[in-house]
Chains A and B, each alone.
Chain A
Amino acid sequence: MMKSSVYGLLLLLVLMLPPAADFLESIMITHMHMQMPLLVISGIFMAKFFQNRFTGFFSKWNENGVPGILLFSIILVYWSLPRTMDEALTLTSVEVFKFISLPFLGGVPLRDSWPKLSSFWKHALIIFFTILFLALGWLYIWSPVQLCNNYLVIEQITLGWGFISTAFAMVIYLIYSYFMDFSKYE
């Protein structure tokens, strides 16, 4: 079981390598829709290590999964602000915070919270992110101003469509889960 944590750490280290980081950050959409999710995924992998190490802490303070998922959501919303993405490129402190917050405050609590959440909260979360992504997509595509100083407007529009497609995928999942009874397969 510890193996997954090692892989998670390796993934994080690879993402931190300057050539890898520079490459993913050179394009706006890979910065937000590849690097950031990969950082969260590295945290998801590493979560087992923390869960084993601090079993009591997680079961006590994140018993129903709500605090953890709240933390995950806050971190994700924070990193979808146009400003934080810009500053990650220009300020080292913000960049460092990105590599710490997304895996450890995003990925780890997500892994710990998800199985504990009732299906109501799970759906609420997906609906929340669907609305957020539609709004962000709308903002990035139809905003008349350039939101990020470090990226071209065309990249901003590409990112907007990335958000819309992700939102679309979540809508399909929601419709699917409405008609399907997952409990039959569990």
Chain B
Amino acid sequence: MFPKNKTALSSLVVLVFGVILFYIGTDGFQAFTAETARVNQLMDEKPKFPDVTLEDNNGKTYSFTEFEGKYVFITFLYTSCGTVCPELEVNMSEVYKRIPEKYIGQDIQFLSISFDPKRDTPKTLETYRKAFGSDGETWRMARIPKQMELESLLDRFGVIVIPDEYGNFAHNSAFYLVNPKGQLVEVMDYTLIEEAAERITEILESGGEE
């Protein structure tokens, strides 16, 4: 064997190793960021919304089972946030407007959940709700007063919240859709309003088959 062929062979071995490494590391060239990997995993697992107590903008407290039998469209936010959250909520209101009216409140509930229960009291949430044109009924804003319950939910839905030194939080954002049985079925890009609205209408029209 010629020495030259040997290095060609070892180069080939190295290349194959590289392809395998990248294939495994990115779930088959699917997910190059941990966020994509997270979403893919959630769609596979379809985790159940844990039994938590919510306190909404009207000061009412109830368990999540209140929404049983309906689809629930969820976003996670905190009201002191000046960057992503307002955009997230504006986009949520756009989705809300695009869903046929007959489904609103009947088959689908909109819910914004704050992960900053200390500052986001029902009063703060009430002010915030008005700013985004939520009616407080078919689209509610709520906090989860018990830290333990809040954490179990964030953990199960893969919401990563990192507090920074200025009292803000860095967090990942998405639209979440929970089915009438309380399982997470869709995690959607919050910047793609049309796509999200279409997908949800489709699911609602099919009568909750999916």
Which residues on A are within 8 Å of B, measured CB to CB?
60-64, 66-67, 70-71, 74, 78, 81-84, 86-87, 90, 145-153
Contact = CB atoms under 8 A, between A and B. Distances in A.
Given A70-B11, A74-B18, A149-B172, 15 more contacts: A60-B6, A62-B10, A63-B6, A63-B7, A66-B7, A67-B13, A78-B21, A82-B32, A82-B34, A83-B26, A83-B31, A90-B34, A151-B170, A152-B164, A152-B170
Nearest first, the 6 closest Cβ-Cβ pairs linking A and B are A86-B34, A74-B18, A67-B10, A61-B10, A67-B11, A149-B160
Interface residues of B, number: 29
B37 A83 contact: yes
Contacts of A84: 25
B15 interface: yes
9 contacts: A60-B6, A61-B9, A67-B7, A67-B10, A70-B18, A82-B33, A83-B31, A87-B34, A148-B33
B162 interface: yes
Contact of A146 (B22, B37, B170): B170
Q: Chain B's interface: helix, strand, loop or mixed, by majority?
A: helix
Interface in B1-54: 3-4, 6-7, 9-11, 13-15, 17-18, 21-22, 25-26, 31-38
B14 to A, nearest CB: 5
A61 B6 contact: yes
Contacts of B170: 146, 151-153
A63 B162 contact: no
A151 B162 CA distance: 8
Q: Chain A's interface: helix, strand, loop or mixed, by majority?
A: helix
B146 to A, nearest CB: 24
A147 B7 contact: no
Nearest to A148: B34
A78 B34 CA distance: 14
B14 A149 contact: no
B14 A67 contact: yes
B32 A83 contact: yes
Contact of A149 (B3, B11, B26, B38): B38
Q: Which among B34, B162, B170 has the highest number of chain A CB atoms within 10 Å?
A: B34
A81 B25 contact: yes
A58 to B, nearest CB: 10
Nearest to A87: B34
B113 to A, nearest CB: 18
A81 B21 contact: no
A88 to B, nearest CB: 10
B14 A74 contact: yes
Contacts of A78: 18, 21-22, 25
A148 B162 CA distance: 12
A71 B194 CA distance: 44
A83 B33 contact: yes
B160 A150 contact: yes
